[in-house]
Amino acid sequence: MVLSEPYWDHHIPLPKLGPLYSRLVTAFVALICFINSYDGDFVFDDSEAIINNKVAGIVGRADLLCALFFQLSFLVYCKAFQGGDKKFSVLWIFGSILLCAVAMLCKEQGITVLGVNAAYDILMVCNLNIYELAHQLSGLLMRLALLFLGGSFLLYARWRIMGTGPPSFTEVDNPASFAENVILRIVNYNYYYSLNAWLLLCPWWLCFDWSMGCVPLIKSATDWRIFWPLLLWCCLMGLVYQALCSQDSNKRRTLTFGLVLLVIPFLPASNLFFRVGFVIAERVLYLSSAGYCLILAYAVGYCSCHWKKHKVCATTLTLLCVNVARSAQRSQQWRSEQSLFASALSVCPLNAKVHYNVGKNLADRGNQSAAVKYYREAVRLHPKYVHAMNNLGNILKERNELKEAEELLSAAVHIQPDFAAAWMNLGIVQNSLKKFDEAEQSYWNAIRFRKKYPDCYYNLGRLYADLNRSIDALNAWRNATMLKPDHSLAWNNMVILLDNTGNLAQAELIGKEALKILPKDHTIMFSLANVLGKQEKYKESEGFFLNALKINPNIASCHGNLAVLYHRWGKLDLAKRHYELSLRLDPSAPGTKENYNMLKRKLEQRQRTVG
């Protein structure tokens, strides 16, 4: 019997807007139906687990719910003005604020609906008429005060929930925000805005993650990419001019409200008020798409009045079909990790996280040789990518390339000293290299940074067992089972160690305690049966052996040890049967062959005696 080996730590049409509002709602519903063409807020960067998305629509559920309650909040706010001219309902306004709170709980971006409501109030309800505005000023101020107070309360609540401080991000998440030169920071922010605008216009190049070098920084005035922010602002200024200076009041209000819906929901992602944790996040365009749809609907209506209607209709239908086809294609890419990550390679070949996730997926499917290639590329692109170092070190250890594995894991913990998993894996490598003191220190470092770490206690116990420090090993495994009561390997190793050191009574107690928690664990049954057999409790031992074989009838060692039990018990025919079953499953087992030969000699002697 041997101890188990260590293992690795491996998101009502309204009269004021008329037909255009109906077009907006229709366009927004269509957008929601095909929303899975954009990517959700998932970061596949955990060395221990990875999300397996089988249904494309699930990944954006938080953003979809936020969009739903955003729209409901806006509709409820509009409902507040249906009581007649110059009248409004405070109750409906409070209902709108409540729905805003629900939208914000789904996604922080939901709070921007208060700004949209305020813009609707000024543009559509008060109609931006200075003379009438004076008569409606008191009501407007009251409504804006309610929105302001509601928004302030929600922001405070959110601030408290987040722990009274903003989340921390690293340079790889949003490199432009860490640029020391303010001019460069502003230029790159505007370049990000232009990329977001392009994704709205042409959502063709989509990626589940845009960080880690996917969008290189603009660092000089000669970089041709500066043209795109300039083009963006020219287009925006043109729209703003039309929205403010057009002679057509309906055009002014529609374009202004479209710009409000386009810009205000995007403000939390703009880096203007606080640093965000991404370069581009396609999910933040969900709500802004409503403004884009409204402007686009107005543009189609305008073109149909000045151009030939059949050409406008044909162009619109072609555009719709292309986007529907793209949505269907993107949904197919989201059906598996393999297709999703492979699609990102062509969009962001400089993104280390993309290479990491491709490698992780390959490793999970057993193709470790190919995984090593992608992990190495991830480390080359981002030399401080500790998760890639950790996983690459794991594979190299399994391939017995221990020296390089130790170097990678040592570099990982040097870069990120609180990386508990890397500390534990480094300890396993050092243990394999017979660097026992260093391995012990690495294990304790892992436990220092992750207090409740049963797997590390388990591996620490393995180290102590190799050093014949039996009491320390038992204590480590006991800690593992206290932190994780169903830690089968720790329970089993305690039984085996107590058996090997002759503490059979204590081994029996530990084994029975373990089976109360893990009643169907055949490995513990096997170890306990061995202990009971050595104590000549043959009947009880037989029961545990047979129960283990019921769960897994193809365990050669279990048949072999049950045969030994029958051999000692004097049930030679049963012993012969299980020796033969064991040898059939594992013909090369030397101990079983010797015992079987002893049994055959004994049976021959018995036959001669009888004869």
Amino acid present at 232: L
Residue 513 pLDDT: 95
Residue 169 pLDDT: 66
CA 592 to chain centre: 48
Q: Read off the pLDDT of residues 124-167 as tens digits, 9 standing for 90 and up.
A: 777 655 444 445 555 667 777 777 777 777 777 766 666 655 56
Residue 437 pLDDT: 94
Q: What is the DSSP letter of 277?
A: S
- Output the six-digit token pair for 191: 């370049």
Q: What's the chain's average pLDDT?
A: 81
pTM of the model: 0.73
- The lowest-confidence range among 190-194, 228-232, 548-552, 587-591 is 587-591
> Which residue carries 């805005």 as its tokens?
193
Q: Where does the pLDDT of residue 111 fall: very low under 50, low under 70, confident under 90, or very high at 90 and above?
A: confident
User: Of the candidates 80, 81, 100, which has an alpha carbon nearest to the alpha carbon of residue 91?
Assistant: 80
CA of 576: how far to CAs of 19, 324, 367, 536, 564, in Å?
89, 70, 42, 19, 9
pLDDT tops 50 at residue 36: no
pLDDT tops 80 at residue 543: yes
- The lowest-confidence range among 31-45, 80-94, 260-274 is 31-45
Q: Where does the pLDDT of residue 488 fall: very low under 50, low under 70, confident under 90, or very high at 90 and above?
A: very high
Average pLDDT of the segment spanning 55-84 = 76
- Output the six-digit token pair for 390: 């950790």
Three-class secondary structure of residue 165 per DSSP: coil
| Helix spans in 501-537 (H) | 504-517, 522-534
261, 288 Cβ separation under 8 angstroms: yes
CA of 357: how far to CAs of 43, 277, 305, 376, 415, in Å?
10, 19, 50, 12, 20
Residue 76 CB burial class (10 angstroms; 0-12, 13-18, ≥19): buried
242, 251 Cβ separation under 8 angstroms: yes
Average pLDDT of the segment spanning 481-494 = 95
Residues making up the chain, counted from first to last:
611
pLDDT tops 60 at residue 401: yes
Handedness of CA 545, 548, 554, 557 (dihedral sign): negative
Q: What is the DSSP letter of 205?
A: S
User: Of the candidates 144, 143, 154, 14, which has an alpha carbon nearest to the alpha carbon of residue 75?
Assistant: 14
- Output the six-digit token pair for 481: 């089972």
Average pLDDT of the segment spanning 347-374 = 90
User: Of the candidates 218, 229, 211, which has an alpha carbon nearest to the alpha carbon of residue 279?
Assistant: 211
Residue 166 pLDDT: 59
pLDDT tops 90 at residue 304: no
Residues 6+ apart with CB under 8 A from 399: 368
Helices 61-79, 113-120: axis angle to 10 degrees equals 30
352, 388 Cβ separation under 8 angstroms: yes
Question: pLDDT: is 108 or 454 the higher one?
Answer: 454
- The lowest-confidence range among 92-101, 111-120, 543-552, 602-611 is 602-611
pLDDT tops 50 at residue 4: no
pLDDT tops 90 at residue 373: yes
Residue 39 pLDDT: 45
260 φ, ψ (degrees, to nearest 5): -60, -50
- Cα angle value 321/327/329 (rounded, 5°): 105
